[in-house]
Structure 1
Amino acid sequence: MARILVVTHEHDRFLGRRDILLRRSSPYMLFDILAELKRRGHSVRVQQGLSTPFSADIAVLHVDATVTPTDYVDYASSFAFCLNIGAVDISKRRISGALVDRADSWQGQVIVKSNLNNQGIPETFLNRQSQRAGKPQLFPDMPVQEPYAIHESIGDIPQSSFDRADLVVEKFIPERERDGFAARFWVFCGDRERCTRYVSPKPLIKASETIRREPVPVPDELRSLRRALGFDYGKFDFVVHDGRAVLLDANKTPGRPSNLRRMFAAGASDLADGFESLIRGVR
């Protein structure tokens, strides 16, 4: 059995409030995997912040921010093996395969997004919690986050959007369906995975708002990208456009939508098998 340490930011909310039965919950998918690992006999500790260091056989760097702060990366590097130690920057400008610039020849629709993961909501939350604790903001000068905006062409975008470091412009290339739009979500941990194609009536596809879903294979180019981006555990959002897989988003701290938590929890056992394969690799 292994001693597992999950390193989260001191202001993160990895462990949510207790419910009426005094059971812990969490907005994160890793919570279900850890619960299964505990059931199998592994020791699991969540370290919130860096003030009290702990020892462990294997660590998980689980800081919910687009770019993990350097002090957390340095601390996580002190362990013999730490999951996602290479996946410390998941900004769109680094991971997206659909980026365009003002001189691009792309003729189709485009979408303007935040360069930050999840529209900068995690950074805004950490800033608020830090201020409540009487400390400086962790991410000062955060821009006001705007909703994603779809445009018919590059020429329809305000040219100032290309000059802003907090925004990116991407080709808008969801997989078109007769009754909506589709995108693919690949969840993985070690050598275990599931990849699902979701169809939604809305052009901005969320797993919680889909009308149907089906399992699909993982393209080889996505596996290569996973290795290059340093992911041991996480979720990739992608589409297949003109026969090629295009990565749109990479998440190192994937959540579990409230209306799909039962489904996500059901898959935790398989992902826990993947976690144990990583433990065996370390040993």
Structure 2
Amino acid sequence: MSHIVVITHEHDRFLGKRNLMLRRGSPYLLFDVLEQLKRRGHSVRIQQGPSKIYNADIAVLHVDATVTPADHVDYAKGFAFCLNVGASDISKRRISGALISEGDAWQGPVIVKSDLNNRGIPETLLNRRSRRAGKPPPFPHLPTLQPYEVYGSLGEVPDGIFGNDDLVVEKFIPEREPDGFAARFWVFCGERERCTRYVSPNSLVKASETIRREPVPVPDEMRERRRELGFDYGKFDFVLHEGRAILLDANKTPGRPQSLAKMFAAGAADLADGFEGFIRQAR
């Protein structure tokens, strides 16, 4: 039995809200993993924001923001064993393998995205909750939320995009299928993992909007990127393009889409096995 501490932002709603059955829900996959661990006898404490207390056998840095604030990282480093300390920055400029510049020779379609993860929505929510609590926003200089935009070529990208530090331009390279588009999602915790290829009628593939899915192997390139980016737990979104695995998104606080909640919960036991592998290392 071990004591686990989950480090979140002060205004992050990791536990979600109680529903009509007085049960806790959560937007995060880690919630399901922790429920499994509690059933196995481990104790869990949610630490909202840095503290002076370091009483835990193992900790997880789980701040839902593109760049984890430095004080949270410093607090996490105070634990003898803490997951994802090295994965504190998941900005597109750091993680994406599809970035292109204005003078690139790429002839295909491109997509313009926010440099922030998930268009900066997590930071926007944290700012809103902070203001409601009468405190200054933790991310005061956020850009205006913008949808992802796909263009047929680099020449169609509007002026000023490449000079905007808040935006990035990527090759638009979903895997094309006769009935849609495909992307691959690799979820992992320690040595336990699942990797699934999802096919969607939409060119921007989301796991919650798919017509079929199938398990696929994890390419060596993705395992190497995971080591480089310092991920112990998380989710990578990638595609195979011209025989190479290309990372598009890396998430250190992966969610659990409501439409796939049962499927995600069913796989949580295996991820909990991976978490217990870290617990054994910590000992």
User: What residue number does 1:56 align with?
Assistant: 56
- Which aligned runs of 4 or more in structure 1 are off by greater than 2 angstroms? 50-54
Summarize the alignment of residues 129-278 of structure 1 with structure 2, pairs less than 5 Å apart.
129-278=129-278
CA–CA separation in structure 1 for the residues paired with 2:2 and 2:250 = 28
TM-score, length basis structure 1:
0.99
Partner deviation per Cα, 1:119-159 (whole Å, 9 max, x = no partner) = 10000001101111111111112111111000011111013
Percent identity, aligned pairs only? 73
Can you give the 5+ residue segments of structure 1 that lack an aligned partner in the other structure?
none
CA–CA separation in structure 2 for the residues paired with 1:257 and 1:208 = 6
**3-state SS of the aligned residue for 2:108?**
coil
TM-superposed deviation, 1:190? 0.4
CA–CA separation in structure 2 for the residues paired with 1:21 and 1:34 = 20
The reply to whether residue 38 of structure 1 matches residue 44 of structure 2 is no
TM-superposed deviation, 1:51? 4.5
CA–CA separation in structure 1 for the residues paired with 2:52 and 2:12 = 16
TM-superposed deviation, 1:12? 0.1
TM-superposed deviation, 1:37? 0.2
Partner deviation per Cα, 1:40-95 (whole Å, 9 max, x = no partner) = 00011111122563410000000000000000000000001100000000000000
CA–CA separation in structure 1 for the residues paired with 2:29 and 2:9 = 17
TM-score, length basis structure 2:
0.99
1:63 maps to a residue whose letter is V
2:40 maps to a residue whose letter is R
TM-superposed deviation, 1:229? 0.2
1:257 maps to a residue whose letter is P
**3-state SS of the aligned residue for 2:162?**
helix
TM-superposed deviation, 1:182? 0.1
**3-state SS of the aligned residue for 1:44?**
strand
TM-superposed deviation, 1:259? 0.6
TM-superposed deviation, 1:281? 1.5
TM-superposed deviation, 1:20? 1.8
CA–CA separation in structure 2 for the residues paired with 1:95 and 1:263 = 27
Partner deviation per Cα, 1:210-245 (whole Å, 9 max, x = no partner) = 000000000001000001100000000000000000
Equivalent pair of 2:51/2:75 in contact (CA under 8 Å): no
User: What residue number does 1:86 align with?
Assistant: 86
Q: May I ask how many residue pairs the two structures share in their alignment?
A: 283
CA–CA separation in structure 2 for the residues paired with 1:139 and 1:101 = 27
TM-superposed deviation, 1:21? 2.0
Q: Please give the root-mean-square deviation of Cα atoms over the aligned residues, in Å.
A: 0.8
**3-state SS of the aligned residue for 1:13?**
coil
User: What residue number does 1:77 align with?
Assistant: 77
Equivalent pair of 2:54/2:78 in contact (CA under 8 Å): no
CA–CA separation in structure 2 for the residues paired with 1:282 and 1:7 = 17
Summarize the alignment of residues 9-48 of structure 1 with structure 2, pairs less than 5 Å apart.
9-48=9-48
**3-state SS of the aligned residue for 2:160?**
helix
